[in-house]
């Protein structure tokens, strides 16, 4: 009898303590966008914000991110979290995760947009810069995805990878590392789309063709070169198509009629011919 009384007394003593525990704080659910300081990334931020998404923006340039955050806030959206980080550096993704955790934020949507390319032959270009392409376009995408995948799965969220029409080509003589990195990203997106669909997560790859942004200057592409004379899409058109396709759960999104026609015809053209055409286009010369 005394044993039962002691147990009841203990339960009564513990109950106020349990009731006093603070309720779990619900995470701030954000759309996390990398490479958001300009070009397609900045327009993706604008499109997501327009559709009511709370944002976390990542790029090397903190000043440009703050300016974009000011612009979006002035338009009446919640102020995005700004995270200045160079994703080519070891430990950068962990830093992004730490900032999000400190802010009580968790990604429901991840947009892997950060990336760059270099025009030139592999044996002439700087080896460290070519390896940086692999670090940003491949390793950082995988690390961001794997780091935040548990949260995205828990939210039954979405992943958008910004690939390229280049990923459909058999190779890119004159931009070998860039073309290879986009082929990887397209393949990775397709596989994840299939793996995660049963968990309620959709993975999409948006594959723009030539799009005039700061990418060309970084890559060393002459804006009068043959490659730049083909029909192009704007960064905003790519962002809007990417958002629409992601929300619809599409696996691959190719903005622009000319780009879709190119992708449709590629399987029917001999690989040696395609490699020769790409090589000539990327000589950085006017038509």
> Cα–Cα distances in Å, from 62 out to 23, 35, 67, 72, 99?
34, 11, 9, 15, 14
Is the CB of residue 225 less than 8 Å from the CB of residue 284? yes
d(CA 222, CA 177): 19
d(CA 142, CA 144): 6
* Short-list 31, 152, 46, CA closest to 81: 31
List, by residue number, the catalytic residues.
178
For residues 155-182, b (16+ Cβ closer than 10 Å) or e, as one string? Answer: bebbbbbbbbbbbbbebbbbbbbbbbbb
Length of the chain in residues, anyone?
Answer: 287
The one-character DSSP state at 233 is B
């Amino acid at each position: 009898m005394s044993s039962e009384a002691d147990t009841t007394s203990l339960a009564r003593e513990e109950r106020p303590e349990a009731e006093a525990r603070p309720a779990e704080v619900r995470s701030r659910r954000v759309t996390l966008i990398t490479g958001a300081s300009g070009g397609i990334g900045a327009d993706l931020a604008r499109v997501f914000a327009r559709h009511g998404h709370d944002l976390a923006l990542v790029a090397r340039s903190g000043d440009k991110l703050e300016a974009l955050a000011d612009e979006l806030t002035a338009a009446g959206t919640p102020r995005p979290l700004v995270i200045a980080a160079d994703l080519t550096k070891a430990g950068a993704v962990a830093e992004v995760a730490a900032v999000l955790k400190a802010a009580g934020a968790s990604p429901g949507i991840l947009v892997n947009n950060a990336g760059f390319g270099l025009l030139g032959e592999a044996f002439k270009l700087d080896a460290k810069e070519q390896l940086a392409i692999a670090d940003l376009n491949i390793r950082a995408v995988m690390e961001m995805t794997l780091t935040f995948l548990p949260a995205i799965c828990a939210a039954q969220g979405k992943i958008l990878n910004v690939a390229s029409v280049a990923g459909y080509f058999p190779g890119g003589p004159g931009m070998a590392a860039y073309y290879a990195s986009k082929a990887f990203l397209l393949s990775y997106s397709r596989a994840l789309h299939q793996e995660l669909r049963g968990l309620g997560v959709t993975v999409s790859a948006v594959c723009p063709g030539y799009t005039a942004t700061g990418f060309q200057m970084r890559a060393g592409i002459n804006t009068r070169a043959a490659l730049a004379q083909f029909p192009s899409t704007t960064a905003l058109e790519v962002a809007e198509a990417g958002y629409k396709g992601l929300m619809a759960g599409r696996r691959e999104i190719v903005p622009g009629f000319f780009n879709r026609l190119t992708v449709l015809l590629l399987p029917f053209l001999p690989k040696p011919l395609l490699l020769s055409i790409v090589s000539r286009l990327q000589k950085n010369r006017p038509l």
